[in-house]
Structure 1
Amino acid sequence: MIENIQVHIESYGMTQRLKDMAAITTPDAQTIVVQPFDKGVMDDIRKAIMAANVGINPVPQGNFMRCPVPSLSGERRLELAKRATQMAEEGKVRVRNARRDALEVLKKGNKEKLVTDDELKRSEKEIQTHTDTFTAEIEKNLKAKEADLKG
């Protein structure tokens, strides 16, 4: 739920995933505990969790943070469904961008006579097939998540 949140560490001037910089445990179904490996980044982690809009407000407690997970009310389910839709759309955009980049490389190779016209056409179809497959997988996962959230 929060392990892949990107945390910008001001003092180091870099960004890392939360799971790479803290131990994340779930002592019960309603609580996530985040214990940073370096206590100096506690505030950066807290800010990143708040900015991620996952509905969790971390509470610092000494050398760790307790993150109460809100119960799944009807409103919360709708909020999570919207977030899932947003993430699915971002995933589809990434797939389309990868397709665009691959096609650009192929067309450049064709222009420079490194790729034949037949190879270009075959590769374009193959890339489109992969694009369709990944887009369908994203849609399938979104539908499953929406069904899961409905009950």
Structure 2
Amino acid sequence: MNEELKFIIDSTKELMQNSIVHLEKEFRNIRAGKANPSMLGSVSVDYYGAKTALSQVANVGTMDAHTITVQPWEKNMLQEIEKAIMIANLGFNPMNNGEMIIINVPALTEERRKELSKHAKAEAEVAKVSIRNDRREAMNEIKKTDASEDMKSNAEVDIQKLTDKFSADVDSLYKVKDEEIMKV
């Protein structure tokens, strides 16, 4: 196969893989009722004037299935961390006991589960659109090459196979996440 076509296929595969990685990251941010330290992954704390990830200024762990604990390395950071969790708008109500911050993760209502499922479906659809855009870009690049028509045709078939594979991956990731969300 032509080097140029091989490069187009490889770079398209990498772009599509990045869409899957992004989707997995988004799914980790959608809570499914069980406490998980990654739920606070998007929280940034004002640490002496610099926005810093929460995990860089405190230990984040779980006490049990419904409780997240945040133990700051510096006691004077308690209020700042508490404020950052509230600003992150994750729907949590942090409690400060003077030593650490305790967050009770409420059980999900049926209505909230359906809402989260819709959100997961929307994220999956965004990933699929991204994959299809990558396919379109690759097809346009293939048409611009000076390879033979047969080689171009074979490359287009390869790109379509990649698209189908990654779209199926998105569907299976969504199915797993949806089951996780809807499980009581």
Give the structure-1-normalised TM-score.
Answer: 0.68
- Which moved further from structure 2: 90-99 or 48-57? 48-57
Q: What is the aligned counterpart of 2:112 among 79, 87, 90?
A: 79
- Which moved further from structure 2: 93-102 or 35-44? 35-44
- Whether the 8 Å CA contact 2:71–2:101 is kept in 1: the answer is yes
- Which moved further from structure 2: 97-106 or 42-51? 42-51
Q: What residue ranges of structure 2 are gaps of 5+ in the alignment? A: 1-35
Identity %: 23
**Deviation digits for residues 76-115 of structure 1 (CA, Å, limit 9, x no counterpart):** 2321331232033213312421331243144224313369
Calculate the aligned-residue CA RMSD, in Å: 3.2
The match for 1:26 is 62
Corresponding residue SS for 1:70: coil
Q: How does 1:2-151 map to 2 (within 5 A)?
A: 2-4=37-39, 5-10=41-46, 11-13=49-51, 16=53, 18-19=54-55, 21-37=57-73, 42=78, 45-51=81-87, 53-72=89-108, 76-113=109-146, 116-149=151-184
Give the structure-2-normalised TM-score.
Answer: 0.59
List 4+ stretches of structure 1 deviating above 6 A: none
Check 1:122–1:27 CA distance in 2 against 1; reply closer, same or farther (3 A cut): same
- Which moved further from structure 2: 39-48 or 134-143? 39-48
Q: Where is the helix percentage greater, Structure 1 or Structure 2? A: 2
Greater RCO, 1 or 2 (C-alpha within 8 Å, sep 6+): 2
Check 1:63–1:146 CA distance in 2 against 1; reply closer, same or farther (3 A cut): closer
